[in-house]
Amino acid sequence: MLDTDFFRRWMTAAAASVDREAERLTALDSAIGDADHGSNMQRGFTAVRTALEKEAPDTPGAVLILAGRQLISTVGGASGPLYGTLLRRAGKALGEAAEVSEEQLAEALRAGVEGVKQLGGAAPGDKTMVDALMPAVEALGDGFAAAGAAAEQGAEATTPLQARKGRASYLGERSIGHQDPGATSSALLIAALAEAAAGTEGSGE
């Protein structure tokens, strides 16, 4: 079973991972976006880390809802409401339970991804977060490592795609050949699940 501390470690590990990869995320975003994805995500997850320390939510659902709310209010770019909706929907789906199973987490994330698709209007293949998140959720039944690999693969597979959502879509065919920054940060978030399961919180500063 996954307890509140697991979810806290997941968010902390994701924050550390975003810290480590911020420059890469911004570099990817400068190719097809507005070159702020790394710093936006860093600002958001730093706020998540601070809020989790200060407010000490006491259920898995409460951790995700608090994190989602922080991302919506601090990221400042489109990834804020999108990641915020992902986590908040997932948190609401987990309800008040003190511990949840991996199956329940998978179901909750599925609900979260549906929320992301609804909010942004993105379908698979549009070169967005959805292209990493959907295969990750599908693979969660085989464990966190499998989900991480599926997300990573999904993110890499956005490279040859033409963007159909967000600022990158204005570039048309010129968006082809670049990995999507949102799919890339989604893969970091999913990879952090395995770190949380291993009991580590990452090694970011």
Partner 1 sequence: MSDERVVGIVLVSHSAEVAASVAELAKSLAGGAAPVPVVPAGGREDGGVGTSSELVAAAAASADRGAGVAVLTDLGSAVLTVKALLAEGDELPKDTRLVDAPFVEGAVAAVVTAATGAGLDAVEAAARDAYDYRKV
Q: What residue ranges bind partner 1 (CB under 8 A)?
A: 36, 40, 72-73, 75-82, 84-85, 88, 115, 119-120, 166-167
CA-to-CA distance for 205 and 86, rounded, in angstroms? 25
Strands (E), 41-147: 99-100
| Helix or strand (DSSP H, E) at 32 | helix 4-32
By beta-carbon proximity to partner 1, the closer residue of 60 and 115 is 115
Minimum separation from the CB atom of position 91 to partner 1 (A): 12
Phi and psi based region of residue 112 (left: phi greater than 0; alpha: psi -120 to 50; beta: remaining): alpha
Name the residue among 65, 2, 9, 59 with its Cα closest to residue 203.
9
Minimum separation from the CB atom of position 114 to partner 1 (A): 12
Residue type at 158? T
Minimum separation from the CB atom of position 176 to partner 1 (A): 21
Residue type at 151? A
Minimum separation from the CB atom of position 123 to partner 1 (A): 16
Minimum separation from the CB atom of position 34 to partner 1 (A): 8
By beta-carbon proximity to partner 1, the closer residue of 147 and 185 is 185
By beta-carbon proximity to partner 1, the closer residue of 121 and 160 is 121
Largest CA distance in the chain: 48
By beta-carbon proximity to partner 1, the closer residue of 32 and 75 is 75
By beta-carbon proximity to partner 1, the closer residue of 9 and 88 is 88
Q: Are 1 and 184 in contact (CB under 8 A)?
A: no
In the structure encoding, which two tokens stand for residue 187, read together?
A: 């893969």
Q: Are 75 and 43 in contact (CB under 8 A)?
A: yes
